[in-house]
Amino acid sequence: MKVHQIVTSLTYGDAISNETLAIKKFLNEEGIESEIYGYYHHPKLSKYFNHYSSFLSQSSKDDILIFHFSIGSPVSKTYFQAKEKKIMIYHNITPYKFFENYHRILAKECYKGRLELEKFVNKTDLGLGDSEYNRLELEELGFKKTGVLPIVMDFAKFDRDGSKIIKSLYGDDKFNILFVGRVIPNKKIDELVKLFAIYQKYYNPNSRLIIAGEYRGFERYLSDIYQIIGKYQVKDVILTGHISFNDLVAFYKIADLYISLSEHEGFGVPLLEAFYNKIPVIGYDAGAVKETMNGGGIIIKEKNFGKLGALMEEIRTDNILKDKIIMGQNKALEKYSYENIKKILLNHINNLKEI
């Protein structure tokens, strides 16, 4: 039996590509032949990549095909025509309502994406979500057999120093509060800035908010954020824009606290990266945040910025509390170990084989 994967793009460093490569590695380790097919790829990954047009000629009903769903993918048709038993991995689509006021075209794409997903219901033998939250969405859509396969986290890449310049610039005595993610409406960066305005004014003026993520394409949302910064004269808010991985590592190294007020997350990779980098995490309970945090960090159920500011100050001043949070986070990370995810994937494949 062979287990092949089909993706829209195999690029360097993004979560889906990392997962695709990790799955190939898991399967090869078990002696299962596995190839990756796709539409385009990063030249660095050429040795792992095959063009999807060559897939159907060798399609066999005795094999398994894993498809990583993405909106408007040209490879979907190949997936539909393949004879293999089919697994679709769903990484979630942000509800279009978050983009209505800021990016009409993206809102339309997300809306269409959800409709497109329905076409996969009868063409898929097993729908996998990378969280229970995503799995439930698949179940609601009508997928008969569903399961969870958490994202494969490659934490080893953080075992380095990161950019020295970033460390010199921001690694001072200021209390660094970090958020990693694109500056888009569902991440509620505007609320993060409001919270920081309160924290800086009433609790700790010697603090800094770092928002590490791309904002191009969302200038209209960025304008809202600048409005808040201007209105309340908030100082030390750093919107980094797109950064290199080396810079990202440095930001994790200098961060004292990680906060997410996001209202929609299909998984939440940066939360776990913060766990790994031993930064205490506060996350708002929305989407798959609580599930991803797996009992680690602190979950807040309500956005009460006055109390939240006090909680942030409590974490800053109470080292015992901080250590306890970090200990809990380390425990939570065990779920995402390489071996554990490999076991889950092989279970899904064996179950599908028996159908």
Q: How far is the CB of 222 from another protein (least distance, A)?
A: 6
C-alpha 280/C-alpha 326 separation (Å) is 6
The nearest distance, CB 137 to another protein, in angstroms, is: 23
Query: Among residues 36 and 183, whose Cβ is nearest to another protein?
Result: 183
Position 220, amino acid: R
Cα distance between residue 92 and residue 289, in whole Å: 13
CA distance 312 to 204: 10
SS (H, E, C) 86-108: EEEEECCCCCHHHCCCCCHHHHH
The DSSP code for 151 is: P
Q: What is the C-alpha separation between 351 and 236, in angstroms, rounded?
A: 53
Q: In 3-state terms, what secondary structure has residue 28? A: helix
Smallest gap from Cβ 324 to another protein, in A, equals 5
CB of 220 to another protein, least distance (A): 5
Q: 241, 217 in Cβ contact below 8 A? A: no
User: 45 or 238: whose CB is closer to another protein?
Assistant: 238
Q: Which is nearer to another protein, 26 or 133 (CB)?
A: 133
Choice between 215 and 252, CB closer to another protein = 215
Number of separate helices (H) and strands (E) present in the chain? 13, 13
Smallest gap from Cβ 202 to another protein, in A, equals 5
DSSP code for 152:
P
Residue 162 C-beta: closest distance to another protein, Å: 14
Nearest to 92 by CA among 286, 337, 342: 286
Q: Which lies closer to another protein via its Cβ, residue 144 or residue 201?
A: 201
* Contacts for 135 with CB less than 8 Å, ≥ 6 apart: 127, 128, 129, 146, 147, 148
Closer of 139 and 214 to another protein (Cβ): 214
Task: State how beta strands 85-90 and 237-239 pair.
Answer: unpaired
Q: Are 308 and 282 in contact (CB under 8 A)?
A: yes
Q: Which is nearer to another protein, 7 or 298 (CB)?
A: 298
Shortest distance, position 160 Cβ to another protein, whole Å = 19
Would you say the C-alpha torsion 63, 69, 72, 73 has a positive or negative sign?
A: negative
Burial zone of 333 (CB within 10 Å; 0-12 exposed, 13-18 middle, 19+ buried): middle
Contact between 62 and 149 under an 8 Å Cβ cutoff? The reply is no
- Between 51 and 104, CB nearer to another protein: 104
CB of 284 to another protein, least distance (A): 11
Judged by the rule CB under 8 A, the positions of this chain that interact with another protein are 101-102, 104-105, 164-165, 168-169, 190, 194, 197-198, 202, 215, 219-224, 226-228, 231-232, 238-241, 285, 290, 295-307, 310-311, 313-314, 318, 321, 324-325, 327-328, 331
Q: In whole angstroms, what is the distance from residue 278 CA to residue 317 CA?
A: 16
Least CB distance to another protein at residue 314 (A): 5
- Select 23 or 298, whichever has its Cβ closest to another protein: 298
